[in-house]
A and B are shown apart, each in its own frame.
Chain A
Amino acid sequence: MITAGLVEALTGIVGARHVRTAPAERLTYARDGLPTHRRVPAVVVLPGSRDELAAVVRLLAAHDVPFVPRGAGTGLSGGALADGAAVLLVLTRLNRILSLDPSNRVAVVEPGVVNARLSAAAAPHGLHYAPDPSSQTACTIGGNVAENAGGPHCLKYGVTAQHVLALEVVLADGRVVELGSPSGEPWGPDMVGLFVGSEGNFGIATRIAVRLLPQPRAVRTLLAAFASLRAAGEAVSAVIASGIVPAALEMMDQSCIRAVEDSVYAAGYPRDAAAVLLVELDGHSDDAVVAETETVHGLLSAHGAASIRVAADARERERLWQGRKKAFGAMGRLSRDLVVQDAVVPRSALPEVLEAIGRIAATYQLTVSNVFHAGDGNLHPNISFDARVPGLRTRVDAASTEIMEACVAAGGTITGEHGVGLDKLRYMPLIFDAESLAAMRAVRRVWDPEERVNPGKVVPVHACREWSGLRIADRGLRIEQQARSPAQSAIDNPQSAIAPRGAR
């Protein structure tokens, strides 16, 4: 329980300036980048060092108070929200780049370092940090680690998990452990790999060693316009199957194109195109990149590209990318509220799934704009709406669920880079069975036995509890017979999985 005495003790650790209790101050942290979830934390604490953070965590453990770590609050799953029973630990003051070793291409940073700042610091050495979420000018490396963040260039260079070498972590009880080794070779089981993407449930990363990559010496960027989403989707499959791995392969549909072109981020996208593909090729050798660009150009033409534009210089390339990276912001022009969805499908399923999303949008009379990492099959359907209109929110939720179901039915998954957080809890039973969810919860309890770190996220706890007694019945090989009530199973009834407050 959070008492006045606890707040005073927190103040004693981090200083009065860095403990926020006033309602207006706490409201600042009531949402993340996804506006459909709202939780007001009881107290907000901003530690200024690893030792302060560990002391705060130990204090909270002694008082059995749950807490939620948070970076810049740009997440898109409601994952960094704390309710009135929890303390929000904001890590933006832990923002030092502790070391940068160009010869080994390794940097060690604190969790509050902004993603783009790390690449800027590495640039003079001819290096960069590859994961580049659209929010990279604001999001933090700590948040990237918690979510296993991606970004357009992860198609070629991999997601955050492939770039994190070692971690220092404050556990739920305040103990500090080091995971991994400076080279990235696991020290025992791959605890770093297990930690990355655990959405804060396993502890707080306070030092993060990341791999840096050489900046490519040659880059070409193409913009191809298509008359249909299907044609654009088929072109994506053709490029992937060719063996050429673009640095990025992004798609935007007409609704998104027009939103961007109507905004200050206008990039010169063809407004009449049903879809555009933004393809980037890079590498060490200009000759090789030019040759691969020609091959990709040919593939795009052969699959119906109405026009193909190659960025003439770095400035034009930057403009093309700005339109893509700021597309979410541009869509703010369409309506008051925006739900940014995140799902992944096999790349060959893109044409069918995009058409299914179109049908779902029509059924629910909603505006759905698509801007996404086509090369990875990582969709971001964005639903624009006005939450003040009675009944509209219900339609948005129903459409979101149908989109997720369509992606899962196509062999995909419910999130590729935004995480489960609060928003996707209800979809977890769509892709994981009871045993698997129970196993995840058991793993979480190894790290955090009382489940006090970021409680109520990632694994639908209610469903796990109900499932924990169930055994291997449907394999016809039951070992421990137990009665099974259909009403207990979220597999039988996915809607029965715990729904976050405000998510429906």
Chain B
Amino acid sequence: MSLLDRVRALLGDDAVEIASGPDAVPRVAPASPDAVALLLGTARQEGWRVRLEGAGTWLPADAPADLALTTRRLDRIPAVEPQDLSATAEAGIGCDLLRQQLADHGTWLALDPPGLAGRTLGSVVATATAGPLRHGFGPVRDHVLGVTFVTGDGRLVQSGGRVVKNVAGYDLTKLEAGGFGAFGVIVLVHLRLRALPRADQTLVLEGTREDLTQVAEDVAAAGLQPAALELMSPALARRDGWALAVRLAGSAALVAAEEAGLRGASGGRFTALRAEEAHGFWMRAAESFATRPITFRTGGLPDSSDELLDLLQHQVGDEWVSASPGVGAIRWAGDTTVDRLRRLRRTLAGLEVPLTLERAPWPIRSAVGHFGAYREGVGPLVAGLRRTFDPGEAFVVAVEGSD
């Protein structure tokens, strides 16, 4: 029996589509977590190599595999609990649809990941791609209360729960958030929500990078705690110069006070955007990252942001860059070579700054790896965890690369 016949027998005809892409890898869309488990259990038995896909808008669907497993039919939202500020959603739900449904309940997921609006929740969690709101609300993992995932040999594993504090058992959720699917396919996510902000204000200041870096430092020194404080390259911000964008979100009183503080710290130089302008500004910046072939992020100490931006400028250019100087995170997009990426990663490692390759065509991903080399002694631990959750090496994920 062929692979496709086998999959059809397991999951039904409607779970399989023949991919129209250049590699013609058949795409399988299981409709339930149990079906994902069954598929991967069979993959383990048959020795199939599986690549993971969401909506196909972020990571290129180009890894060599026997079949592609897409979560796009796992698109239900089983629960939104406004009183508890929590929700449970399947991994294949698009972030735009999720956001809309949450807003209908007066709730908000304080994540603004890069990419197109329809990017799946599972993709955001698996790649831990937070956006500018990381400044005020933390990285992706802080918004995830628990996950259910399926291992490479078809085991359905739960971690965490749907309450906001939970220390029962080891926190496998942390391994899944940002694991790029190497430790399992996330099928269900329990989310920590916030009440929809009563006020949401974006202000932008344009100028030179040096000037705006100083303003960002002044904002931090003033003790202000905006939801986002993002330094963007001109191309990304679609401005003539660099832009420092500040987003304030919360109660009306809080936003008014923060705005007054911001104007005080900057000499009143920021310009407030109207609501629709602000929405477009942040959305365009997020989408821009999906339009370039390669995206990576780095994490340095806040006071090293300027130095790291210089380094990026010299080694790979800084046309498409967004930095969150308050937390030291930088996201870069563009086009470059394997050699340059490797060299940059080595340089950054010397500064104790990790570089995580977020998206790139398979030849680059497989050469450079999402993570590259680990710190001394950590590699065997990661390898052990991969064997634990994918003993047959079913998942085609380029975590380390070939360097």
Contacts and interface: CB of A to CB of B under 8 A. Distances in A.
A186 B167 contact: no
Nearest to A218: B257
A183 interface: yes
A169 to B, nearest CB: 9
B175 interface: yes
A291 interface: yes
B72 interface: no
Interface stretch (B112-120, B231-239, B276-284, B294-302): B294-302
A319 B354 CA distance: 45
A474 to B, nearest CB: 10
Contact of A188 (B164, B301, B378): B378
Given A159-B165, A184-B327, A435-B157, 19 more contacts: A175-B377, A177-B381, A179-B378, A181-B299, A183-B299, A186-B354, A188-B382, A191-B381, A193-B174, A194-B174, A240-B84, A288-B256, A344-B163, A344-B165, A347-B164, A376-B164, A413-B161, A433-B158, A440-B170
Interface centre among A214, A283, A420 (most CB of B within 10 A): A283
Contacts of A105: 302
B303 A177 contact: no
Interface string A169-207: 001000111110111111111111110111001000000
Contact of B301 (A179, A182, A284, A431): A182
Interface string B252-277: 11101110110000000000000000
A229 B297 CA distance: 48
A107 to B, nearest CB: 13
Given A291-B253, A348-B84, A458-B169, A186 B178 contact: yes
**Chain B interface bracket (under 10, 10 to 19, 20 to 34, 35 or more):** 35 or more
A285 B167 contact: no
B229 interface: no
B353 A183 contact: yes
A181 B327 CA distance: 13
Interface string B289-324: 000000001111111000000000000000000000
A189 B179 contact: yes
Task: Rank and list the top 9 A-B pairs by shortest CB-CB distance, nearest first.
Answer: A185-B299, A193-B174, A243-B195, A291-B253, A285-B257, A446-B384, A416-B165, A288-B257, A177-B377
Interface string A351-375: 0000000000000000000000100
B387 to A, nearest CB: 8
Contacts of A126: 223
Contact of B166 (A181, A416, A447): A416
11 contacts: A104-B302, A104-B303, A147-B167, A159-B165, A181-B354, A183-B301, A285-B254, A346-B83, A436-B169, A446-B384, A458-B169
A369 to B, nearest CB: 20
Contacts of A74: none
Contacts of A283: 225, 254, 257
B151 interface: yes
Contact of B168 (A162, A178, A240, A415): A415
Contacts of B183: 189
Given A187-B371, A284-B258, A292 B251 contact: yes
A378 interface: yes
B253 A104 contact: no
B257 A287 contact: yes
A9 interface: no
B243 interface: no
Interface in B185-244: 194-198, 222-225
Interface residues of A, number: 98
B170 A444 contact: yes
A472 B33 CA distance: 12
A209 B135 CA distance: 19
A76 to B, nearest CB: 11
B169 to A, nearest CB: 5
B225 A284 contact: yes
A442 B224 CA distance: 44
Q: Give the interface centre of B34, B83, B141, B166 by most chain A CB atoms within 10 Å.
A: B166
Nearest to B148: A436
Contacts of B84: 240, 346-348, 377
A148 B167 CA distance: 7
A158 B142 contact: yes
A196 B179 contact: no
Contact of B375 (A106, A177, A198, A472): A177
B354 A185 contact: yes
B354 to A, nearest CB: 4
A197 B171 CA distance: 7
B388 A439 contact: yes
Contacts of B374: 187-188
Interface string A63-88: 00000000000000000000000000
B376 interface: yes
A488 to B, nearest CB: 18
B174 A243 contact: no
B299 A288 contact: no
A259 to B, nearest CB: 24
A244 interface: yes
Nearest to B389: A439
A197 B371 CA distance: 24
Nearest to B42: A479
B376 A194 contact: no
Contact of A241 (B142, B162, B178, B195): B195
Contact of A190 (B138, B141, B328): B141
Contacts of B223: 126, 214, 217, 284
A410 to B, nearest CB: 9
Given A288-B253, A440-B172, A190 B178 contact: yes
